[in-house]
Amino acid sequence: MTKKKHIAILGSTGSIGTQALEVMREQEHLFEVEVLTAGSNADLLIEQAIEFQPNAVVIGDATKYQQVKDALKLQAIKVYSGSDAIEQVVQMETIDMVLTAMVGFSGLKPTIAAINAKKNIALANKETLVVAGSIISKLAIENKVSIIPVDSEHSAIFQCLVGEPLEQIEKVILTASGGPFRGKDREFLATVTKAQALKHPNWTMGAKITIDSATLMNKGLEYIEAKWLFGLQNNQIDIIVHPQSIIHSLVQFVDGSLKAQMGLPDMKLPIQYALGFPQRLKNDFPRFDFANFSSLNFEKPDYHTFTNLQLAIDACAKGGNAACVLNAANEVVVDAFLHDKIGFIQMSDIISECLQKITFISSPTLSDLYHTDAESRILASELC
Ligand code: NDP
Ligand code: MG
């Protein structure tokens, strides 16, 4: 790379956002931070802005605007607030790539704005593809924009596909750690607490995705994400539980050959790969050592106990606005679970009820999806 790549990070104060900044700090000769955005964590946003000197920052929560503005008044940094500002700022001419690391449906509009402005996307915000995969994929093709996955499984598949035409894929195999409740039954799940669910065995992540990993909804969302990223049919996606999270996913080709991408569970690697693509950048992250792992294990997912996974696969097969309903209801129930309003098992019961009750639309427009999202949130909240 000769010219530095100018990156906008949407959600810079989160788990992916802060790790992306670590990568950019380590590779500062290659990357320039152009824009940082946060939801409400003004203190961290200010700290990041002072260190990385972006062109602009946006704080989603407008009540924090003055705090950020005052703290940065001696810096040559533009300060904006509100969700509309996030949509506008991603279109800045100086941006080469937008890392979408906001959480949930909130990432959809800025991602669309960035694609329309012809910015390449490093996509962490999987919910965007879950909700509007067909619209986003079409838009990316029309605007000649690359969507490079950050999610470790999809980064693994993407890396396995280098030099391989998509038509040669027989199937992809997504690996799942199984989460903290692997091997447990529904009776046990009925008793689990928020604190137990927030303890992921292999990864440290934001609260929402950590709960999604405990319910296996995360793997369901990733199943849908894989479909749209790689243009797959539903029968081309398999899931296998692999508790050590060393094989990040696999591709099986038409000749039966399997390629896997492996490494220690560390999100900085897929983040760096997406930001640096097509270059593979040298780093000093800890290396995997076979001597420390005498065995790698694999087992079938328990679809009966973790009903969210089956709900997501079914919503994907149904198509239309079904995955949008699933996502909205899931965001509401995860939030309710994190606020001790409902139990672990109730989460999937409520999502299932929303999927049955919300009107199905087979070919939704974007405005249909916004409507579906709002309607599903209301119903899910009532059911909580
Ligand atoms: P976090 O909750 O840690 O961070 C979310 C970020 O988005 C924060 O910067 C937050 O700001 C910001 N944000 C949240 N809501 C809004 C909003 N309404 N408007 C503006 N900004 C908002 O999440 P993660 O980093 O864990 O996850 C981000 C995305 O990446 C998710 O889609 C997740 O599924 C995906 N992902 C995450 C992985 C991980 O290891 N963490 C792995 C693979 C995918 P603030 O801090 O101010 O609240
Ligand atoms: Mg993942």
Do 311 and 210 share a structural domain?
A: yes
pLDDT of residue 2: 65
What is the distance between the alpha carbons of residues 56 and 49, in angstroms, rounded to a whole number?
Answer: 8
Residue 207 forms part of a structural domain: yes
Q: Are 120 and 137 found together in one domain?
A: yes
CATH code for the domain in which residue 113 is found: 3.40.50.720
Same domain, 228 and 253: yes
Answer yes or no: do 137 and 161 share one domain.
no
Residue of minimum CA distance from atom 48 in ligand 1: 39
**Residue 168 sits in the same domain as residue 310:** yes
Ligand closest to CA 154: 2
**Distance (Å) from CA 322 to ligand 1 centroid:** 23
Closest C-alpha residue for ligand 1 atom 19:
39
Structural domain contains residue 267: no
Closest CA to 147 of 205, 107, 176: 107
On whether both 306 and 198 belong to a single domain, the answer is yes
Cα 89 from Cα 75, distance rounded (Å):
18
Based on the domain organization, do 234 and 309 belong to the same domain? yes
In a domain, 360, yes or no: no
Measured CA to CA, the distance from residue 99 to residue 376 in angstroms comes to 27
What kind and span of H or E run contains 152? helix 152-160
Cβ of residue 243 lying under 6 Å from some atom of ligand 1 = no
Alpha carbons within 13 angstroms on the beta-carbon side of residue 177 total 21
Among 9, 15, 59, name the best residue to mutate to test ligand 1's pocket (greatest count of ligand atoms within 8 A of Cβ). 15
pLDDT digits (tens, 9 = 90+) for 108-138: 999 999 999 999 999 999 999 999 999 999 9
1, pLDDT greater than 60: no
Can you give the residue range of the structural domain that contains 170?
A: 154-262+287-318
Pairing of strands 237-241, 247-253: unpaired
The response to whether residue 102 sits with its C-beta less than 6 Å from ligand 1 reads yes
Q: Which atom of ligand 1 is nearest to the CA of 102?
A: 7
Average pLDDT over residues 10-14: 98
What does the alpha-carbon distance between residue 160 and residue 260 come to, in Å, rounded to a whole number?
7
Q: Tell me the mean pLDDT in the region 62-71.
A: 98
Mean pLDDT of 371-381: 98
Ligand 1 atom nearest 152 alpha carbon: 43
| CA–centroid distance, residue 206 to ligand 1 (Å) | 6
For residue 195, being part of any structural domain is answered with yes
| Residues 50, 105 share a domain | yes
Residue 8 near residue 87, CB atoms below 8 Å? no
Closest CA to 297 of 250, 244, 259, 238: 244
DSSP of 265-327:
S-THHHHHHHHHTTSPPP--PPPP-GGG-S----B---TTT-HHHHHHHHHHHH-TTHHHHHH
pLDDT of 204 higher than 80: yes
Residue 270 lies in a domain: no
Pocket test for ligand 1, best of 59, 88, 103 (most atoms within 8 A of CB): 103
155 within ligand 1 shell (Cβ under 6 A): no
Q: Is 206 in the pocket of ligand 1 (CB under 6 A)?
A: yes
What residue type is 363 in one-letter code?
A: S
Q: What is the pLDDT of residues 237-287, one digit of tens each?
A: 999 999 999 999 999 999 999 999 999 999 999 999 999 999 999 999 999
- The amino acid present at 253, given as its one-letter code, is F
Instruction: Name the β-bridge partners of 239.
Output: 174
Q: Which of 111, 129, 149 is a domain's end point?
A: 149
Q: What is the reported pLDDT for 7?
A: 98
Residue 126 placed within a domain: yes
Share of the chain above pLDDT 70, in %: 99
Where among 149, 166, 195 does a domain terminate? 149
Bigger pLDDT: 31 or 3? 31
What spacing in Å lies between the alpha carbon of 17 and ligand 1's midpoint? 7
Q: Output the pLDDT for position 66.
A: 98
Atom of ligand 1 lying closest to residue 126 CA: 32
pLDDT average, residue stretch 22-34: 97
Q: 47 and 11, same structural domain?
A: yes
Claim to verify: residue 98 and residue 180 sit in the same structural domain: no
Provide the percentage of residues in the chain whose pLDDT is more than 90: 98
Which atom of ligand 1 is closest in space to residue 17's alpha carbon? 25
Residue that is last in its domain, among 114, 149, 184: 149
> Does the beta carbon of 121 lie inside 6 Å of ligand 1?
no
pLDDT of residue 200: 86
The total domain count for the chain is 2
pTM metric for this prediction: 0.97
Over residues 73-107, the pLDDT tens digits come to: 999 999 999 999 999 999 999 999 999 999 999 99
Same domain membership, residue 103 and residue 72: yes
Ligand (nearest to CA of 90): 1
Spacing, Cα 204 to ligand 1 middle (Å): 12
Reported in sequence order, the residue ranges of the chain that DSSP labels E, i.e. its strands, are 5-10, 31-38, 56-59, 78-81, 97-100, 120-123, 147-149, 169-176, 237-241, 247-253, 258-262
Which atom of ligand 1 is nearest the CA belonging to 208? Answer: 2
Q: 214: which residues sit within 8 A by CB, 6+ positions away?
A: 179, 180, 181, 192, 197, 198, 200, 344
Give CA–CA dist 237/38, Å, rounded.
Answer: 34
Beta bridge partners of 11: none
Supply angle C-alpha 171, 328, 342, rounded to 5: 110
- Per-residue pLDDT of 211-231, as tens digits, reads 999 999 999 999 999 999 999
The pLDDT value recorded for residue 201 is 85
Residue 175 and residue 93 share a domain: no
Tell me if 149 CB under 6 Å of ligand 1.
no
The pairing of beta strand 120-123 with beta strand 258-262: unpaired
Query: Is residue 158 classed as helix, strand or coil in its secondary structure?
Result: helix
- Is 367 a domain residue? no
| Average pLDDT for 368-378 | 98
Query: Ligand 1 mean position to 373 CA, how many Å?
Result: 19
Q: What span, in angstroms and rounded, lies between the C-alpha atoms of 89 and 19?
A: 22
| Mean pLDDT across the chain | 97
Question: Domain for residue 377, yes or no?
Answer: no
Burial label for 346, CB within 10 Å (0-12, 13-18, 19+), is middle
The ligand placed nearest to the CA atom of residue 210 is 1
